[in-house]
Chain A
Amino acid sequence: MDLAFTPEELKFAEEVRAFVKANLPADVCDKVKNGKHLGRDDYMRWQQALGKKGWLVYTWPKKYGGPGFTPAERYIFENICAEEYAPGIIPFGTKMVGPVIYTFGSDEQKQKYLPAIRESTVWWCQGYSEPGSGSDLASLRTRAEKNGDHYIVNGSKTWNTMGHWADWIFCLVRTDPKAKSQEGISFLLIDMKTPGITVKPIIMMDGGHEVNEVFFDNVKVPVANLVGKENEGWTCAKFLLANERLGIAAVPQSKRGVEALKEIARAETDNGKPLIANQGFAEKIADLEIQVTALEFTELRVLSQMAHGGQPGPEVSGLKIRGSEIQQRITELTLEAVGEYSAPYLPGLLWQGTNEAPVGPDYAHLAAPRYFNTRKTTIYGGSNEIQKGIISKMVLGL
């Protein structure tokens, strides 16, 4: 057992750091550092830079054009990107539909879709949840009826993240309405430009627009866009959800969040002293940092196991639960640190990137919207109640 990285790993870390410093556009880095809203183009420029280097799909095996990172290299890569204020990689192509396509897709599909995901020339979004199907995903009702060499898709999807920027959507659709809920589902790839698709924004409680409802009205989709076998889409869905759970713990982002919180607590005053000198508040940050450390070492144990060829064990299931709670706690303590100066709501500064002057310090206007928005982390990707249900059944045998 050795906690230290090997000389090769340290060399790799240097390479990653040098690459990020040289290729992360300065304006994008600045936006991430200052919590500004990122546009489609901001993500794309960084992702395309990573794509050229071959690192965008850093979790993919070499066989499908990934870099074939070891678990330690993955960890190093993720941490350095976060430390250097790179934007998070949008997961819909890279971590979701890409692996589904290389695992279940045909050779033609691999050739058609994978290069554009690796190079980030196409923006993907996800069509899973429906208004009546949230936690109970398998009850979904969006219908795809076969008509010659096409499916005709009717229905609606919701909580569709960044679909207003997307070129393609991957969808779970019902192809056999008579089968039991999980059995009549298929996995379809749909071009967002197809006639009959409408994207309607959903405004979140922080006032921002990041998710949508997507409506399908007699949308014609070639049968060639079916991934895997008809009515066996649930296999793809389960595979994708398991994949999604890895990395959802967001440890590098949380480490960065704790450091940012400390900076704010140093800048804020409390009875004439820095807030961080307040014992009660300092202990709350300390408690949070310990939680992050426990999460990080749980993830490291998983990575180490995988490095020895093992599969992630039961400990991986808890990562999403604790990771999401920790993300919320960071925003909660940040709000507490900012105090009454978090009250001003400045939508221009927050969403439109106007040069409206902040009220109080630069970070103040972000504290409340972040806290509000981060309530989603214990809800999306299977709510924490659902996750605990899975662990109690699958891991503990209850």
Chain B
Amino acid sequence: MDLSLADEQKQLQDAAERFVRDKYAFENRRKIAATEKGFLPENWAQMAELGWLGMSFSEADGGYGGGAIETMIVMEQFGKGLVLEPFLPTVVLGGGMIAAAGSAAQKQALLAPMIEGKKQFAFAWLERQSRYNLADVSLKAEKSGSGYTLSGHKGVVYNAASADDIIVLARTAGGAREENGLTLFVVDGKAKGLTRRDYPTQDALRASELTFDKVSVGADTVLGSVDGAHPVVEDAVDRAIVALCAEATGCMDAINAATLEYIKTRKQFGVPIGKFQVLQHRMVDCFTNAQEARSMTLMATLKIDDKDAVVRRKAASGAKVQIGKSGKFCGQSAVQMHGGMGVTDELSVSHYFKRLTMIDLMFGNQQHHLTRYSNLAMAA
């Protein structure tokens, strides 16, 4: 057993650290968030150049042969800088599903340009009623000639406005919430009949509501098997969850460091407030929480490629529960210990707090994953 990073992985970590230091000083991030796209194309190009967009894909798929550990390394640094480039929707979710389920032709047409930084993706699965059930999908894809016609609505689709292609989870058969009968389609972001309402999110990302009004797609847009998308989606989402956990550990480290610095320097009653035991203990709990989050993230990263689906799912859900709990504790504590300054827009603390809050809600909150974990663990 060895849980230390290999030399190449250390280099990757250094490079990601450097990227965040150079590009994501807090006031810089504010400027990036205010741009039209909400991220910088030049940063995306740099990520491609550094090999980050292809590092977790096999060489056969045109990648550099890394995996979940590499994703964890960069996502953690992205968390420290609250990086805005759409790595999760494009690389982890989009790229991940294409690599897992795509045909050779699709990999050639989609994955290769993505790795070069020339294509971005979005993943449209959520609907108004879905909450966290990946099978609660009612957007319909009906057979029409040699292709399909898509009609329905998708919500909170991250990066939809910048995506070249949107990967849409649609119902081709079966009733409401049935796991069988779901199919993935790769839909051109500019397809006729597809309309978007774009908006910023609480944590300064970009997302959209999508309406599909009889959008025609060819049979070659089906990703994976017809009616058989559910296991592909579940695996992809579990991988995205583990990546989000890594991002959250980065956020927690950053917010804890900022809070520690603040309570060492902020003076009240003639002493730094960090001299008060009530804050010392709370600060210690923050660090313990962040350590647990880091441990669970590492555990899930190492188990996410396990052959046994139950092991993979428990790993992702277990980590997500821990991240939800630790993220909330560290975030709320950081704001409280910063006092009035903590609730302002001015300091970075509130921005980390907002990101940690939204991470808990993405792909199932603490409660949802506790139930999922419990069902998996007690069934054995």
Question: Chain B: interface secondary structure?
Answer: mixed
Min CB gap A31→B, angstroms? 22
Cβ proximity bits B116-138 to A, threshold 8 Å, 1 near / 0 not: 00000000001011011100100
Determine if A207 is an interface residue (Cβ-Cβ < 8 Å): yes
Determine if A72 is an interface residue (Cβ-Cβ < 8 Å): no
* Cross-chain contact A372 with B344 (CB below 8 angstroms): no
Q: Are A378 and B336 also in contact (CB < 8 A) when A344-B201, A345-B200 are?
A: yes
Chain A residues within an 8 Å CB radius of B269: 135-136, 139
Interface residues of A in 243-283 (CB under 8 A from B): 268-272, 275, 280-281
Partner of A345, one of B199, B278, B339, B367: B199
Q: Are A271 and B177 also in contact (CB < 8 A) when A207-B345, A378-B336, A385-B278 are?
A: yes
Min CB gap A374→B, angstroms? 9
Q: Are A359 and B361 also in contact (CB < 8 A) when A134-B340, A340-B126 are?
A: no
Q: How many chain B residues touch the partner (CB < 8 A)? A: 48
Interface residues of B in 198-238 (CB under 8 A from A): 199-203, 207, 209
Which of the listed residues B155, B176, B351 has the most CB atoms from chain A within 10 Å of its own CB?
B155
Alpha-carbon distance between A380 and B344 when the two chains are bound, in angstroms:
13
* Cross-chain contact A373 with B343 (CB below 8 angstroms): yes
Min CB gap A201→B, angstroms? 11
Min CB gap A325→B, angstroms? 11
* Cross-chain contact B340 with A359 (CB below 8 angstroms): no
CB closest residue in chain A, given B370: A280
* Cross-chain contact A359 with B155 (CB below 8 angstroms): yes
Cβ proximity bits B332-347 to A, threshold 8 Å, 1 near / 0 not: 1001100110111110
Cβ proximity bits A197-208 to B, threshold 8 Å, 1 near / 0 not: 000001111010
Alpha-carbon distance between A373 and B342 when the two chains are bound, in angstroms:
11
Chain B residues within an 8 Å CB radius of A371: 357
Determine if A304 is an interface residue (Cβ-Cβ < 8 Å): no
* Cross-chain contact A202 with B346 (CB below 8 angstroms): yes
Alpha-carbon distance between A272 and B371 when the two chains are bound, in angstroms:
17
Q: Are A203 and B345 also in contact (CB < 8 A) when A135-B268, A359-B209, A371-B357 are?
A: yes
Alpha-carbon distance between A205 and B355 when the two chains are bound, in angstroms:
12
Alpha-carbon distance between A341 and B136 when the two chains are bound, in angstroms:
15
Interface residues of B in 344-379 (CB under 8 A from A): 344-346, 350-351, 353-354, 357-358, 361-362, 365, 367, 370-371
Determine if A156 is an interface residue (Cβ-Cβ < 8 Å): no
Interface residues of B in 96-149 (CB under 8 A from A): 126, 128-129, 131-133, 136
Min CB gap A339→B, angstroms? 6
Determine if B18 is an interface residue (Cβ-Cβ < 8 Å): no
* Cross-chain contact A205 with B343 (CB below 8 angstroms): yes
CB closest residue in chain B, given A281: B367
Interface residues of A in 338-365 (CB under 8 A from B): 339-346, 359-360
Alpha-carbon distance between A158 and B199 when the two chains are bound, in angstroms:
33
Min CB gap A363→B, angstroms? 13
Chain B residues within an 8 Å CB radius of A341: 128, 155-156
Alpha-carbon distance between A129 and B340 when the two chains are bound, in angstroms:
10
* Cross-chain contact A280 with B371 (CB below 8 angstroms): yes
* Cross-chain contact A336 with B131 (CB below 8 angstroms): no
CB closest residue in chain B, given A384: B336
* Cross-chain contact B343 with A268 (CB below 8 angstroms): no
Q: Are A340 and B199 also in contact (CB < 8 A) when A371-B357, A380-B340 are?
A: no
Partner of B336, one of A139, A268, A275, A379: A379
Chain A residues within an 8 Å CB radius of B278: 385, 388-389
* Cross-chain contact B344 with A204 (CB below 8 angstroms): yes
Chain B residues within an 8 Å CB radius of A375: 332, 335-336, 342-343, 353
Chain A residues within an 8 Å CB radius of B358: 343, 368
Alpha-carbon distance between A387 and B276 when the two chains are bound, in angstroms:
14
Chain B residues within an 8 Å CB radius of A271: 131, 133, 136, 177
Alpha-carbon distance between A203 and B332 when the two chains are bound, in angstroms:
19
Min CB gap B30→A, angstroms? 12
Determine if B31 is an interface residue (Cβ-Cβ < 8 Å): no
CB closest residue in chain A, given B336: A378
Q: Are A372 and B156 also in contact (CB < 8 A) when A203-B345, A271-B131, A272-B176 are?
A: no
* Cross-chain contact B202 with A342 (CB below 8 angstroms): yes
Alpha-carbon distance between A369 and B358 when the two chains are bound, in angstroms:
12
Chain A residues within an 8 Å CB radius of B23: none
Partner of B207, one of A203, A343, A368, A389: A343
Chain B residues within an 8 Å CB radius of A275: 131
Determine if B302 is an interface residue (Cβ-Cβ < 8 Å): no
Q: Are A344 and B199 also in contact (CB < 8 A) when A135-B268, A359-B209 are?
A: yes
CB closest residue in chain B, given A159: B340
Cβ proximity bits B306-318 to A, threshold 8 Å, 1 near / 0 not: 0000000000000
Partner of B340, one of A342, A345, A372, A379: A379
* Cross-chain contact A372 with B361 (CB below 8 angstroms): no
CB closest residue in chain B, given A138: B269
Determine if B279 is an interface residue (Cβ-Cβ < 8 Å): yes
* Cross-chain contact A359 with B350 (CB below 8 angstroms): no
Chain B residues within an 8 Å CB radius of A57: none
Determine if A383 is an interface residue (Cβ-Cβ < 8 Å): yes
* Cross-chain contact A345 with B201 (CB below 8 angstroms): yes
Alpha-carbon distance between A344 and B129 when the two chains are bound, in angstroms:
16
Determine if B197 is an interface residue (Cβ-Cβ < 8 Å): yes
Min CB gap A272→B, angstroms? 6
Q: Are A205 and B353 also in contact (CB < 8 A) when A136-B268, A383-B339 are?
A: yes
Cβ proximity bits A122-141 to B, threshold 8 Å, 1 near / 0 not: 00000001001111100100
Chain A residues within an 8 Å CB radius of B131: 268-271, 275, 339-340
18 additional contacts (CB under 8 A) given A204-B343, A379-B339? A134-B340, A135-B269, A136-B269, A203-B344, A204-B344, A205-B353, A271-B177, A272-B176, A272-B177, A284-B367, A340-B131, A341-B128, A341-B155, A343-B202, A344-B207, A375-B353, A379-B343, A385-B276
19 contacts between A and B (CB under 8 A): A136-B268, A136-B269, A139-B268, A204-B343, A207-B345, A269-B129, A270-B131, A340-B155, A342-B202, A343-B361, A344-B202, A344-B207, A359-B197, A368-B202, A375-B342, A379-B339, A379-B342, A380-B340, A385-B278
